[in-house]
Amino acid sequence: MAYYANIYYAEVGPVTYTENKEVYVEAKQGAIKPYKKGMFDRLRSISENWLDTPIDELEKHSDLLSKLARSVSKKLLGDLGEYYSNSNRRNQTNDRLKDLLIEHQHDEIILISHSMGTIVAYEVLRELGRDKEHQGFVLDHFITMGSPLGLTVVKGNAIGNHKNLRTPSCVRGSWTNFSDPQDFVCLDSHLADDYSANSFSIKVKDVMVCNDYPNNEHKSYGYLRTPEFSTHLASLL
């Protein structure tokens, strides 16, 4: 696992189960269900008009956005601001993943990323695709979950860095993007509309899921236990 939180936040010591704010909550019986098209149509129709709206403006619509959703979004935007504006931290962050990928470059790799990690993964993979030192690097399968890669600010930075939006050239098997329409971080969940195929005809495939995690549709735990993700991962193994 490429861990980079300690680049942005001070390390804390061990915590007890009761102190752990990120504790895993088991799913209730029957809670894990496949996504059904149309179940979140109202939210999607509204959210698509808000993609360029500041978070503070969205807070006025508190009937649709939970406190947790606003908190997650503000934290993400804060981290992204630091990532994009502080080149030293950005390079440190990217190197954590790049070094790990290079270490395993002779293995079959399935890269699973979530939230801001999908941005880091995308940037690193684009960089590796044009890195002359590692021209033979190949990533077999790329998976993104709860990704903000569809947000205007993220796409703008990606275009500024790479001139276009497409699947990284080192991805040769597949790129699959999992999104819950109620996940506020990936309001624009259809990446296939914005990211073109690479020269090997690998294009991102969008898959809608229902993240059942209690009060947090963005949680990685919830994405990892969706039937769609499990089925896809099993098919790659």
Alpha-carbon distance of 166 to 205, in angstroms, equals 12
* Spacing of C-alpha 183 from chain mean position: 11
CATH number at residue 73: 3.40.50
Q: Which pLDDT band holds residue 69 (cuts at 50, 70, 90)? A: very low
Residues in a beta bridge with 114:
145
Between these two residues, 25 and 134, which has the higher pLDDT value? 134
> How many whole angstroms separate alpha carbon 139 and alpha carbon 116?
19
Count Cβ atoms within 10 A of the Cβ of residue 129 and give its class: 0-12 exposed, 13-18 middle, 19 or more buried.
buried
- Domains in the chain, number: 1
Q: Which residues sit opposite 202 in a β-bridge?
A: none
Answer yes or no: is 1 within a domain: no
Q: For residue 176, with 0-12 CB atoms within 10 Å meaning exposed, 13-18 middle and 19 or more buried, which class applies?
A: buried
pLDDT digits (tens, 9 = 90+) for 179-221: 998 888 888 889 999 999 999 999 999 999 999 988 888 999 9
Mean pLDDT score of the chain, rounded to an integer?
A: 83
Residue 192 belongs to a domain: yes
Query: What is the value of pTM for the model shown?
Result: 0.82
Residue 135 lies in a domain: yes
State which residues form the domain around 166. Answer: 41-236
pLDDT digits (tens, 9 = 90+) for 71-90: 555 566 677 888 888 899 99
Q: Would you say 232 and 181 are in contact if contact means Cβ atoms under 8 Å apart?
A: no
28-42, 125-139, 196-210: the lowest-pLDDT one: 28-42
β-sheet bridge partners, residue 176: 143, 205
The answer to the question of residue 220 being in a domain is: yes
82-103 in b/e burial notation, b at 16+ Cβ within 10 A? ebbeeeebbeebbebbbeebee
The secondary structure of residue 60, as a DSSP letter, is T
Quote the CA–CA distance of 83 and 94 in Å, as a whole number: 10
Q: What is the pLDDT of residue 16?
A: 60
Provide the percentage of residues in the chain whose pLDDT is more than 70. 78
The band of 24, judged by pLDDT with boundaries at 50, 70 and 90, is: confident
